[in-house]
Amino acid sequence: MNREEFFSFREDFFTRLRQSGMSEHTQLAYRHDMEQLSDLIKDLPEENITRNTFVYALKRLSAQGLHPRSMARKLSVWRRYVADLIEKGCLNDNPLAGLKAPKAPSRLPKAVDAEKLNRIFDAPEEADNVYTRRDAAVFELLYGSGLRVAEAVALDLHHIDWEEGLVHVSGKGGKERVVPLGRQSVAALQAYLPLRVALAGENALFTNRFGTRITDRRLRQCLNDWTLRHGADRHLSPHMLRHSFAGHVLQSSRNIRAVQELLGHSRLSTTQIYTKLDFDHLAQVYDEAHPRAKKKADK
């Protein structure tokens, strides 16, 4: 398949991504990665798309100093596009088979100290209106229940179980889970809902000024504004609130399986990175529990 044919299926691909329920933010990222691939290989003398095409693209990204993690994400997008072409019968062989991006160095999740977060959440609000109450409710959910921003955006009114104090979440890949609502989240939601603006028939829990479902991009902007108003000394992203939730619950409970369920991780290895946030405790557990460590301590 030549270059022109390869990229001619892009719009059809993006349409299916949108129909699958993928968030707008992720769709834009996919589109950018496909456009970047087209730009990276435009000077290649070889017209046909082969394994060398993608090797060349990765080498150019590496020469530009792109982080291996970002390269791996782009490669994942390209894989999905190629898999889509194969599924449709437009491509017979997979030119990406066995191709791997450079391995990314291990990186600890960014978490914020619990006392610092409490001060930010408890800081007085400059104004009291539907938008400040909505933002407070969203951010309490992100930190109080460990939700992803896309999961919070997707919530409908009926997803809140007031009687049981639970929130029903639809996570990645349509995987559903039930997460407890914190006391502060319940209070923030109850303060917001009487003022909620919504068009007739709109079931979204969190809406914008037009009365329709708010976007995750808009919520990220709101979080930036909110942290500045509340005296934060650093930028806070929605995922930092989720990381902080995971780290703080793990440090208190020592139950990694429970944290895995709360976060909606399919693999325990994804959750295990949070154990690095609490290494001092793990070292103490080792010293107290392992027979050889005990013997050393006795001496």
Q: Is 172 tagged catalytic?
A: yes
Tell me, letter by letter, the H, E, C secondary structure of 97-146. CCCCCCCCCCCCCCCCCHHHHHHHHHCCCCCCCHHHHHHHHHHHHHHHCC
pLDDT band at 298; cut points 50, 70, 90:
very low
In this predicted structure, what is the pLDDT of residue 131? 94
Render pLDDT for 247-259 as a digit per residue (tens, 0 to 9).
777 776 667 776 7
Catalytic residue of the set 100, 119, 172, 296 = 172
Q: Above 70 in pLDDT, residue 280? A: no
**pLDDT (average), residues 233-237:** 81
Mean per-residue pLDDT for 19-44? 91
Note if 148 is an active site residue. yes
Residue 262 phi, psi dihedral angles, 5° rounding? -65, -40
pTM above 0.85, yes or no: no
- For 86-140, what is each residue's pLDDT tens digit? 998 888 889 998 888 777 665 655 677 888 888 888 888 888 999 999 999 999 9
| pLDDT level of residue 296 (50, 70, 90 thresholds) | very low
Question: Active site residue: 133, 134, 242, 248, which one?
Answer: 242
Specify the pairing of strand 166-170 against strand 176-180. antiparallel
Instruction: Please report the pLDDT score of residue 157 as a whole number.
Output: 96
239 catalytic? Reply is: yes
d(CA 169, CA 176): 6
* Residue 242: active-site member: yes
State yes or no: is 119 an active-site residue. no
Contact in structure between 153 and 133 (CB atoms under 8 Å): no
248 assigned to active site: no
